[in-house]
Homo-oligomer: A and B are copies of this chain.
Amino acid sequence: MPVPTAFARDQWYVAAYGSEVGGEEVLARTVCGEPLALYRTPDGQAVALADRCVHRRYPLSEGTLEDGRLVCGYHGFTYDRAGTCVSVPGQTRVPRTARVASYPLAELDGFVWVWIGDPARADASAVPRAPWLADPGWTVVRGMEPLAARYGLLVDNLLDLSHETFLHAGYIGTPEVAATPITTEADEERGIVRVSRHMDDAECPPFYADSTGLKGRVSRWQDIEYHAPCLYLLHSRIAPVGSVPGADGSDPDGFHTEIAYAITPSTETTTYDFWLVARDFAREDEGVSSFLHEFNRTVVLQDVTALDILERVTAEEEDRQVQELSVGIDAGGLAARRILERMIARSAEPAPEPAAVPTPGTPGTPGTPGTPEAVAAR
């Protein structure tokens, strides 16, 4: 069961933060190998079109926006939000087949989710949620780092936090992380992996000591919830040693941090690493926010450096069937790989009903041109 490089199709992926998509500039993102041009119409709706003009394949993301229409920057072919070409230079007639795919899109919790696969199967109610990311009761810092590594390496990385002790030593890693056993649960049906590590008497990383004011040793809980393929949630709780939440869920002594990652495959060997940290304490403290942002970015970049190295190793060894050796800490990562492999296999199966005939000029793009571009919007 090696790290997957294929993409699970018929799935929702985060293409951008909502704030990155505007009405002045077009944003280029490649998701699961599919180039997208993202922008916002004057009525505020985000749009994701296939990023290749039907004419000479020039990226539409190099173009300009005019009244919510996207004008190709090379010869001026103009598209509406449904991907239909509405204007061609030098002639009044627009060829019937002049359309690009418009991707099903859902804007939720601050993310712009796009559906990669058969648009007929897109169901916005299946988008996994992380409501605290857009909840005024929480304060969020976030960023996105591009990774020169296959997405499966980031899934591996995040499902096994024992690496914190070594790769992030002095930051979020303490000896107890690697030393404490985990419990793992895989919900294969719903594509969710849960990994929990409860350290009841642990060193408090300086990160948490500084931002919570806790002195001495702490109870530190890490509860991972990975919604394959894209959304990774880490519910983190820090509390004085001995403190536990009440039976009613109340937890006045606990400090809660909701850490989220969106793991979006870009090409087979590159990934968008969206990261967010939401907290319910020191919420108005700009100093804490700015510290958390820098601190967490540093930790993410430690991962980026390591995974970029690992990608080069993996690429070199790919043809040689080099085996890994898995141990107990890998239970979560292996469960994730199994779920991803099943999703990948399933998305390669034929659709239950005949898929739309590919439109000439846009083979390889998944959407039926003209599909309403937004299945759900907040």
A244 at the interface (CB under 8 A from B): no
Once A91-B327, A327-B90 are accepted as A-B contacts, the answer to whether A52 and B360 lie under 8 Å apart by CB is no
Chain B residues with CB under 8 A of A91 = 181, 327-329
Within 8 A of B (CB), among A306-321: 306, 309-310, 313-314, 317, 320-321
**Contact status A324-B89, CB under 8 Å:** no
Q: In the complex, A210→B55 CA distance in Å? A: 34
* A325 CB-CB contact with B under 8 Å: yes
Q: Any chain B CB within 8 A of the CB of A182?
A: yes
Whether B57 lies near A324 (C-beta < 8 A) is yes
Checking B95, B181, B310, B324 against A90 with a beta-carbon cut-off of 8 angstroms, the contacting residue is B181
The verdict on A325 contacting B361 (CB below 8 Å), with A57-B314, A59-B313 known, is yes
The size bracket of the interface on A is: 35 or more
Q: Which residues of A, 62-86, contact B by the 8 Å Cβ criterion?
A: 62, 71-76
Using Cβ atoms and an 8 Å threshold, which residues of chain B touch A71? 166
A167 interfacial contact with B, CB 8 Å: yes
Per-residue CB proximity of A27-44 to B under 8 Å, as 1/0?
000000000000000000
Choose one: B89, B309, B329; the contact of A58 (CB below 8 Å). Answer: B309
A178 sits at the interface (CB 8 A) = yes
Most buried by B among A55, A163, A181, A325: A325
Residues from chain B with Cβ under 8 Å of A55 in the complex: 324-327
When chains A and B are docked, how far (Å) is the Cα of A281 from the Cα of B180?
Answer: 64
> For chain A, what secondary structure do more than half of its interface residues adopt (helix, strand, loop), or is it mixed?
loop
A322 to B90, CA, bound (A): 24
Contact A57 B179 (CB under 8 A): no
Residues on B with C-beta less than 8 A from A280 are none
Any B CB within 8 A of the CB of A139: no
Residues of B within 8 A of A290 (CB): none
CB of A118 within 8 Å of the partner chain: no
User: Is B95 touching A325 in the complex (CB atoms < 8 A)?
Assistant: yes
A324 touches B56 (CB 8 A): yes
Contact of A182 among B62, B90, B160, B363 (CB under 8 A): B90
In the complex, whether A15 has a CB less than 8 A from a CB of chain B is: no
A364 vs B62: C-alpha distance in the bound complex, in angstroms?
40
Contacts of A75 in B (CB 8 A): 160, 162-163, 166, 178, 329
| Bound-complex Cα distance A163 to B54 (A) | 15
State the CA gap A306–B166 with chains docked (Å): 43
Name the distance in Å between A174's Cβ and chain B's nearest Cβ: 12
Q: Which residues of B contact A90 (CB under 8 A)?
A: 162, 178-182, 327-329
A19 in the interface (beta carbon within 8 A): no
CA separation between A95 and B325, bound complex, in Å? 9
- The answer on a CB contact under 8 Å between B363 and A98 is no
Q: Is A243 an interface residue (CB 8 A)?
A: no
Taking CB atoms, residues of chain B closer than 8 Å to A298 are none
A-B residue pairs in contact (CB < 8 Å), sample of 24 = A52-B313, A52-B317, A54-B324, A55-B325, A57-B310, A58-B309, A58-B310, A58-B313, A62-B306, A71-B166, A73-B166, A75-B160, A75-B162, A89-B162, A89-B165, A90-B179, A90-B180, A91-B327, A91-B328, A91-B329, A95-B327, A320-B363, A323-B363, A324-B361
Minimum-distance CB pairs A-B, first 7? A89-B178, A54-B325, A90-B329, A325-B361, A76-B166, A89-B162, A91-B328
